[in-house]
Amino acid sequence: MRSTTATHWLMPALFSVTLLASPLALAGHHGAESHHGKPPGDVCERLRAGEAPLDRDERRAAFHERMEQRRAEMADRLQLTETQREIWDQIHEEQKAEWEQHREERRARMMEHCEGRQAQD
């Protein structure tokens, strides 16, 4: 086959278009169980009952314990003075409080979605 200028740019262009179009062809298919931004019904039921997936207390406690240990090890490696360690602990307590606030906001949004879903059903 003789190579021409047209094949030099046409074949890579066609290949690129094919690669770019393949995800777009499958992007609209969500399946029969699509919730369209709403949480599934069983999640809403567990959320109302107080046993939602966001309430994994044992896992969260174990995670916080591991993080406290890790932060203590890091503070030891950094050889922080007592004052620096207090500031270090204060910073991490503030971060923990921010995450708890974020978690509560996420829970509130989920409840709003569940209430909207209940109104639709």
The average confidence (pLDDT) of the chain is: 76
pLDDT range class, residue 23, cuts 50, 70, 90: low
Residue 101 has pLDDT above 80, yes or no: yes
Residues 6+ apart with CB under 8 A from 53: 43, 46
Domain ranges of the chain: 39-120
Cα(17)–Cα(14) distance, rounded to whole angstroms? 5
Average pLDDT over residues 93-119: 84
Indicate the pTM of the whole model.
0.52
The rounded distance, in Å, linking the Cα atoms of 118 and 115 is: 5
